[in-house]
Amino acid sequence: MKRVPERAPLLRAEEVVKHFPAGLGASVKAVERVNFEIYPGETVGLVGESGCGKSTLGRLITQLLPVTSGNIFFEGVDLTKLSGEKLRQKRRELQMIFQDPYSSLNPRMTVGDIIAEPLENFGLLRGRAKDKRVQELLRIVGLNPYFNNRYPHEFSGGQRQRIGIARAIALRPKLIVADEPISALDVSIQAQIINLMEDLQKEFQLTYLFIAHDLSVVRHISDRVMVMYLGKIVEVADSAEIYRNPRHPYTKALLSSIPIPDPEIQSKRRIVHLSGEIPSPVNPPSGCRFHPRCPIAQVPTPCADLEPPLEEKARGHRAACHFSEKVPVAV
């Protein structure tokens, strides 16, 4: 276990809210009063289905999007209060890896220039020293250092993702937000990138927020897992614990839906059916946002009129459910 709870968190999100205007005075409530911490050296997985707000949350943390309200403390400094040069300097320590290695690299720049750009932005290295550092970075991510004069289109998807990783670690950041870094890659390449990210974490003491929809990958790479549904974090726990003992019915449903590559086990599993569709984040349901689809909800009271707080159900295990003790045990 890497986490030492007594240590100060590297990042702390407090009551973070993000609304996007949706016309006619309405708004999309993408992230709604979210609180969590990330500790130095750990990997936190953030999972949920499309539209749950996980990518928005990732962009709020790296300040690529401004929050509507709330605070994000990075090493004690509130990023939401920073702007201009001060924010720019802080960003050196917060980098991002994107899902699509095709659209996140400028096709007109050489790979060397792409990786050198952050170094230049901060005026860190020049000339030969810069070139040497770029080649070193290429080697670190498992690419030929002499490929620095090539263009992104000359590389495969997996290799491009390595380039994106080299760019992200160029400034020796403390926290990397990886938004679905492997979901655009082929199966045999995914393991290469996961292994690389794990090696780099050990080598450079990195902290990761790993955003993904695939719970099996998240379970493998993460120390802790946060589950999001419709803009809220509904459950947080150690990754083995959340799998063994989910305390939120949505987590349970997600887990039961993930196919296990073993026909004998798979034929015995029962999926938890969720009725209906994910409601609109413009008008989220009252009370618990999951109640219209929840197999164990009691309506109207309390589930439809009282929002369950994200509270500690066991040591280090928080869930936002009125009936978390009724969630059936795992798969």
Partner 1 sequence: MTAPVLQVKDLKTQFFTDDGVVKAVDGVSFDLHPGETLGIVGESGCGKSVTALSILRLVQEPGRITGGQILFKGTDIVTMPGDDVRDIRGKDIAMIFQDPLSSLNPVLKVGYQIEEAMEAHTKISSKVALSRAVQLLKQVRIPAAESRVEDYPHQFSGGMRQRAMIAMGLANKPSILIADEPTTALDVTVQAQILELLRDLNEETKTAIILITHNMGVVAGLCKRVLVMYAGRIVEQGPVEQIFKDPQHPYTWSLLQSIPRLDADRKDRLLSIEGLPPDLIKPPRGCRFHPRCQFRIERCFHDDPTLMDVGPDQEAACWVTMRRALARDGEARA
Interface contacts to partner 1, rule CB under 8 A: 49-50, 156, 158, 186-192, 194-195, 198, 213-217, 219-221, 239-240, 243, 253-267, 271, 273-274, 277, 331
Which residue, 69 or 156, has its beta carbon nearer to partner 1?
156
Alpha carbon dihedral 314, 319, 320, 326, in 10-degree steps, equals -70
> CB of residue 73 vs partner 1: minimum separation in angstroms?
29
> CB of residue 166 vs partner 1: minimum separation in angstroms?
18
> CB of residue 261 vs partner 1: minimum separation in angstroms?
4
Which residue, 4 or 265, has its beta carbon nearer to partner 1?
265
Which residue, 47 or 116, has its beta carbon nearer to partner 1?
47
**Peptide bond connecting 302 to the previous residue in cis, omega within 30 degrees of 0:** yes
Strands (E), the chain: 11-21, 27-38, 43-47, 69-74, 77-78, 94-97, 175-179, 207-212, 224-229, 232-238, 311-314, 317-319
Nearest-Å Rg of the Cα atoms of the chain is 21
> CB of residue 263 vs partner 1: minimum separation in angstroms?
5
| CA atoms of 240 and 234, how far apart (whole Å) | 17
> CB of residue 199 vs partner 1: minimum separation in angstroms?
9
Token code pair at residue 268: 């015995």
> CB of residue 114 vs partner 1: minimum separation in angstroms?
21
CB-CB contact of 50 with 214 (8 Å): no
Which residue, 61 or 184, has its beta carbon nearer to partner 1?
184
CA torsion sign for 257, 258, 260, 261 is positive
The type of residue at 55 is: S
Which residue, 66 or 259, has its beta carbon nearer to partner 1?
259
| CA atoms of 179 and 165, how far apart (whole Å) | 12
> CB of residue 107 vs partner 1: minimum separation in angstroms?
20
The kind and range of the H/E element at 278 are none
Which residue, 51 or 302, has its beta carbon nearer to partner 1?
51
CB-CB contact of 99 with 90 (8 Å): no
Which residue, 132 or 139, has its beta carbon nearer to partner 1?
139
